[in-house]
Structure 1
Amino acid sequence: MIPLHPVALGLVVVALVVDGGGWDLLPDPLGWGLVLAGTLALPRDVHRRDAMVVAAATALVVAAVVWPPGVAERVADTDESLSWALSLPQLAYLLLLSDGLRRAARTAQEGSRAAWFATAEALVLAAAVLPVLVFGVGAEGLAGAAVLCATLALVLLVVLTLAWARAPWAGGRPRALPGT
């Protein structure tokens, strides 16, 4: 198995919502299960791999709790900052994944690839910090920017993990040449 393939697929499942009478037919717990399986398959020498496993498992548990119809809406109606707090395990995973792959790419002297993961890392940090300003100081104008940063980070990480899944520094293996 190429570890980043299930990670990318899981992140796609998390990002997509297919409404089926109130239930999300592409449940986030399924997506986080795929992410967790891929993360467990990453080489142990990927920076903070064990922390990634904990963050993915925590995101899986949170996703399972809020997956039933109406639960996420009731949480948001109670307190929007609680919804943000429940997204922190997801953001922690994305941050750890970005950081781990950035470091691995840099160690492999893949500077441009490391820079792309650093961009994803910055977007995740912005998505995590901007809600503090929105809820803490009432900077409501930053709420849209926080959602945009989170969305861009997720899309960018899906693209990057798919594009470089076979890189040896990411736990992949290059395609064999025909006849070898």
Structure 2
Amino acid sequence: MELTAGSSLPLTKIATGFVFAFGALRFNGFDLLFDPVGWGLCASGLTQLLHSAGDPFDRARSFAVAMVSVSLVAVFASGVPHPSDEPASFSLSQVIGLVDTAGALIAVWLTVDAIIRRIRPHGEISTAARLDVLRWAVVSLGVLGILSGFGHADLGFVTPIAWFVAVVALIVVLYRAAGLPWLFPTEERATG
């Protein structure tokens, strides 16, 4: 089965979207890996995998589309100064950051869940198991990071490093699984 010139592998788009959404390449304080672009890439890849309304890829796509807006708001809110003299109160930018982070973790969970549901029945048990472990690691460590960020736990530098490693591993597994035939775009499978 060959892809047409205008199409791209959906998992490649999703993995690249995660690179944009979770990566940071700063130049003069501006992140060149613009998060909304990443979530847009994820939504595009998920749309290519969609079979029907209501399937797991539809739910994940809806969340990725919502994350485009949330991350746009978070980008603009990150430039708004917040009062540091009241540590017990939450500023609007902190609430938006929390919503952005929690939404990103939910989007990862829904996206990887949809992929696992698609590949497991086709005998890709080891890839499905790796993806399952990695989504648990990314989300669990992300939640620990949120708690640590709000002063509920002092986890030091180990948690962010472990989270980063889990995200990189998840992205690598997604890139490696991109060539699986049941993860080709829906229209390519229909014509192939």
Give the TM-score band, short-chain normalised. Answer: 0.7 to 0.9
The residue number in structure 1 matching 2:117 is 103
Offset at residue 92 of structure 1 (A): 0.8
Offset at residue 16 of structure 1 (A): 2.8
Structure 2 vs 1, CA of residues 126 and 50 (structure 1 numbering), >3 Å: closer, same or farther?
same
Structure 2 vs 1, CA of residues 131 and 15 (structure 1 numbering), >3 Å: closer, same or farther?
closer
Contact kept? 1:43, 1:171, Cα under 8 Å = no
Contact kept? 1:126, 1:149, Cα under 8 Å = no
Match of 2:75 among 63, 67, 72: 67
The alignment covers a number of residue pairs equal to 172
Offset at residue 64 of structure 1 (A): 0.8
Contact kept? 2:138, 2:166, Cα under 8 Å = yes
Match of 2:130 among 116, 123, 131: 116
Q: In structure 2, the residue corresponding to 1:138 is in which secondary structure?
A: coil
Structure 2 vs 1, CA of residues 60 and 72 (structure 1 numbering), >3 Å: closer, same or farther?
farther
Give the residue type in structure 2 aligned to 1:50: D
Deviates more, 1:28-37 or 1:63-72: 63-72
Contact kept? 2:48, 2:185, Cα under 8 Å = no
Deviates more, 1:7-16 or 1:67-76: 67-76
Q: In structure 2, the residue corresponding to 1:17 is in which secondary structure?
A: coil
Give the residue type in structure 2 aligned to 1:15: F
Q: Distance in 1 between matches of 2:68 and 2:107?
A: 11
Contact kept? 1:166, 1:172, Cα under 8 Å = no
Q: In structure 1, the residue corresponding to 2:155 is in which secondary structure?
A: helix
Q: Distance in 2 between matches of 1:119 and 1:150?
A: 13
TM-score of the pair, normalised by structure 1: 0.77
Listed as ranges, the gaps of 5+ residues in structure 1 are 174-180
Q: Distance in 1 between matches of 2:24 and 2:51?
A: 32
Higher helix residue share: 1
1:127 matched to 2:141: yes
Offset at residue 37 of structure 1 (A): 1.0
Cα deviation digits, residues 85-127 of structure 1 (max 9, x gap): 3211111111112222222221111111111111112113313
Deviates more, 1:68-77 or 1:101-110: 68-77
1:37 matched to 2:51: no
The residue number in structure 2 matching 1:12 is 19
Q: Identical aligned pairs, as a percentage?
A: 24
TM-score of the pair, normalised by structure 2: 0.73
Give the residue type in structure 1 aligned to 2:34: P
Match of 2:59 among 32, 44, 51: 51
Deviates more, 1:38-47 or 1:57-66: 38-47
Match of 2:106 among 86, 92, 103: 92
Q: Distance in 2 between matches of 1:167 and 1:75?
A: 50
Structure 2 vs 1, CA of residues 25 and 129 (structure 1 numbering), >3 Å: closer, same or farther?
closer
Q: In structure 2, the residue corresponding to 1:141 is in which secondary structure?
A: coil
Structure 2 vs 1, CA of residues 24 and 115 (structure 1 numbering), >3 Å: closer, same or farther?
same
1:159 matched to 2:166: no
RMSD of the alignment, in Å? 3.2
